[in-house]
Amino acid sequence: MFPPKTIGIIGNLGKMATNVVVPLFEGAHYKVIGSDIKNPRGLTNADVVQIADVVYFSILPISTVAPAIEQLIPFAKPDTLWLHGTSIQNPVKAPITPVLLRRSLAKKRVDVGFLHFMVGPTVRSLRGQSVVYGFPRRLKTPSWEEWLINLLRPTKAHILKCSPDYHDELTTGSQVIPQLIALVSSHLWLQRQIPLSDVLRMAGPPCWFQNYGIIRNLSQPDIVANILGNHPGTHGVIRSAVRILNSIARVCGKKGNTLAKFTAKGLKALPEEELDRINKFTDWHIRLEGDMRGGAVCFYFSRKSNQLGLLAKFLQRFDREGLDKTSCMAQTLPNGGCQFYIGVKAPLDDPRVEAVCEKIVKELNGKRVAI
């Protein structure tokens, strides 16, 4: 029913629903109801789809999404919108799109689509994050798309529309390939018995930056297993990777610049102007990493203390002590508090550094955080 009043979440007690989906709809002042196997005495899935104007499926594991949607088609409320947040549109064992395209749903004028938040379940803010949406068939109520965009726009998320097939093609690059690289890298470290902590101590900021992404992927084993085990692009990428590694093995040690050309060819995946922009951002991150490692302090401020003018007062304390700065980053946190990172040119054991830190704690109610 458009415009919607009630949003129903199937799987409303999961981390993704709790931290991202429910706050999004409640923040837009919609009534939110839900069902979850963790709450057997609450509403059933059938109850939710019979009541809600918009139904959002937030279910794991990925292979169970299509069957769950299919079971609820007989209970669908006419003229509603069904969305799912699964990171794969057509898992190899249980494709979702064919279920959404069932004639029985179309006869009830139920519009269908996906709304995929490209974030982990611990992220509590969509600011600067990517959100992908799409519809596998023409909407019977075209206003749903405008409603969805207006819902997302205030979050400051990066919004992208694509087809289900193109979504899975894009996640081949954004999820499957990086996750496979993480698995290969980590097992190469293990097989060669290389102490990664020593590697990172010896390496420079570009290496830290690259390996942080690998470690980040490895810290989410259930997500990696779910995606690689269900994504239609996984096995094709593995076959291609084997061919590429064999090609590298053949050109290694050859005379001339064959390997250099092979390496440079990879940059052609990006337009030159976009590559320049990425390089500038990468350089900024690398400088920040170096400055932080070279000597920095970090302070946390509560939501109550996080008031307009706080950063200016914070920086003034360093200026008064004659402490020159290298990098400065102020970051708002999901709980409404904030953290300030300050790289200082003076050694951290300089008495002036300790003096300014004590003043920040006493005068600004800051809490020093170990980096």
Write down the domain spans for the chain: 6-161, 168-269, 288-369
- Does pLDDT of 133 surpass 90? yes
- Residue 293, classed as helix, strand or coil, is helix
pLDDT in tens, 313-342: 999 999 999 999 998 999 888 788 999 999
Segment 56-66 mean pLDDT? 94
130-134 vs 158-161, strand pairing mode: parallel
Amino acid at 107: K
- Does pLDDT of 292 surpass 90? no
Residue 52 pLDDT: 98
- 221-230 and 177-191 helices, crossing angle to 10°: 120
Report the chain's mean pLDDT, rounded to a whole number.
93
| pTM recorded for the entire structure | 0.87
Give the lowest-confidence range in 88-92, 175-179, 189-193, 227-231: 189-193
**Closest Cα partner for 82 from 47, 118, 117, 106?**
106
pLDDT band at 229 (very low <50, low <70, confident <90, very high): very high
Give the lowest-confidence range in 110-114, 252-256, 344-348: 252-256
In terms of average pLDDT, the best of 73-82, 200-209, 290-299, 305-314 is: 73-82
Report residue 263 as tokens. 């390496």
- Does pLDDT of 179 surpass 80? yes
Q: What CATH number does the domain located at 288-369 have?
A: 3.30.70.260
pLDDT band at 166 (very low <50, low <70, confident <90, very high): very high
User: Longest Cα pair distance anywhere in the chain, in angstroms?
Assistant: 75
Say which CATH topology domain 6-161 has. Rossmann fold (3.40.50)
Segment 125-152 mean pLDDT? 96
81-84 vs 111-117, strand pairing mode: parallel
Instruction: Give the separation between CA 9 and CA 206, rounded to whole angstroms.
Output: 42
- Residue 30, classed as helix, strand or coil, is coil
Segment 339-357 mean pLDDT? 92
Segment 228-249 mean pLDDT? 95
Instruction: Give the separation between CA 76 and CA 96, rounded to whole angstroms.
Output: 17
Please state, as a whole number, how many other Cβ atoms lie within 10 Å of the Cβ of residue 329. 14
- Residue 338, classed as helix, strand or coil, is strand
Using the structure block, give the residue that is written with the tokens 């279920």: 99
Phi-psi region of 190 (alpha: psi -120 to 50; beta: other; left: phi over 0): alpha
CB 168 within 8 A of CB 90: yes
